[in-house]
């Protein structure tokens, strides 16, 4: 008697209706995959997440979402369900977003220009514990880590400076950092200037990139 095939449940959070329907149709065409829910907004997604214990095996997550950035969704999901696998499927290919997604626990990062087989292969890879990266994203990451050789030595950060930098990596604005840490916006600016000086950088993007390369946060 043949063994019963395990079917992995996929949830999609994607606000582009036509693209979401195409991806759902692609997933449901596989014998071992099933798209059980599609959400157009983060509010819909989190409402469902709060009232179910039947969680998906993989969340396929867009980053360009209404009223809440996909990176913030990723952070909130990882806090609530740290074992849930999240595969980013996005049109964004800038270095900062990619690094932040990987740093915050994404299991992979695919571009929407990926062909159907690449998306399905990515889902299967993530389900089986591997990572999934579009070739362009993998090249970006390798280039980013090796481009300049070893990073110059940086001065140690204080605990509060690390807190500010961690929030920066998560994609928080200065106001959000101030609210999160219960400090003033002026104090955030003061800590950021010190972080920039110690890391030998001049912008938020450079600070995030260097922090991720050196494993500071």
Identify the weakest region by mean pLDDT among 1-5, 109-113, 209-213: 1-5
Q: Which band of pLDDT confidence, cut at 50, 70 and 90, is reported for residue 1?
A: very low
Strand order in the sheet with 8-13: 33-39, 8-13, 58-61, 85-90, 108-111, 132-133
pLDDT for residue 148 is more than 50: no
What pLDDT is stored for residue 70 in this prediction?
93
Across 25-34, 139-148, 192-201, least confident range: 139-148
Q: Please determine, for residue 36, whether its predicted confidence score (pLDDT) is greater than 90.
A: yes
pLDDT value at 129 more than 60: yes
Of the chain, the percentage scoring pLDDT greater than 70 comes to 89
pLDDT, the chain, mean: 86
Transcribe the chain into DSSP letters.
-PPPPP-EEEEEE-S-HHHHHHHHHHHHTSTTEEEEEEESSHHHHHHHHHT-S---SEEEE-SS-SSS-HHHHHHHHHHH-TT-EEEEEES---HHHHHHHHHTT-SEEEETTS-HHHHHHHHHHHHTT--EE-HHHHHHHHHHHHTT-SPPP-PPPPHHHHHHHHHHHTT--HHHHHHHHT--HHHHHHHHHHHHHHHT-SSHHHHHHHHHHHT--
Contact 167, 183 (CB under 8 A): no
CATH class of 8-146: alpha beta
pLDDT band at 211 (very low <50, low <70, confident <90, very high): confident
Residue 176 has a pLDDT of 84
The reply to whether 159-214 shares the fold of 8-146 is no
How far, rounded to the nearest angstrom, does the alpha carbon of residue 189 sit from its chain's CA centroid? 26
Q: What does the pLDDT average to over 120-140?
A: 86
Q: Does domain 159-214 have CATH number 1.10.10.10?
A: yes
61-120 confidence digits (pLDDT tens)? 999 998 899 999 999 998 899 999 999 999 988 877 888 888 888 999 999 999 999 999
Q: Is the pLDDT of residue 152 over 90?
A: no
Domain locations in the chain as residue ranges: 8-146, 159-214
């Amino acid at each position: 008697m043949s063994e019963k095939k395990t079917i992995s449940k996929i949830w999609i959070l994607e606000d582009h209706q036509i693209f979401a329907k195409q991806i759902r149709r692609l997933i449901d065409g596989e014998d071992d995959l099933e798209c059980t829910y599609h959400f157009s907004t983060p509010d819909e997604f989190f409402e469902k997440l709060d009232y179910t214990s039947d969680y998906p095996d993989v969340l396929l997550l867009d980053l360009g979402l209404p009223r809440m950035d996909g990176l913030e969704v990723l952070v909130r999901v990882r806090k609530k369900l740290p074992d849930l696998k999240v595969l980013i499927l996005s049109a964004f290919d800038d270095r900062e977003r990619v690094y932040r997604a990987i740093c915050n626990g994404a299991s992979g990062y695919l571009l929407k220009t990926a062909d159907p087989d690449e998306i399905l292969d990515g889902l299967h890879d993530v389900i089986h514990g591997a990572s999934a990266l579009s070739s362009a994203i993998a090249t970006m990451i390798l280039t980013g880590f090796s481009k300049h050789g070893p990073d110059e030595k940086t001065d140690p950060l204080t605990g509060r400076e690390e807190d500010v930098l961690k929030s920066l990596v998560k994609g928080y604005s200065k106001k959000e950092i101030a609210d999160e840490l219960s400090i003033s916006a002026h104090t955030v600016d003061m800590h950021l200037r010190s972080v920039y000086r110690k890391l030998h950088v001049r912008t938020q993007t450079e600070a995030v990139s260097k922090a991720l390369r050196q494993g500071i946060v």
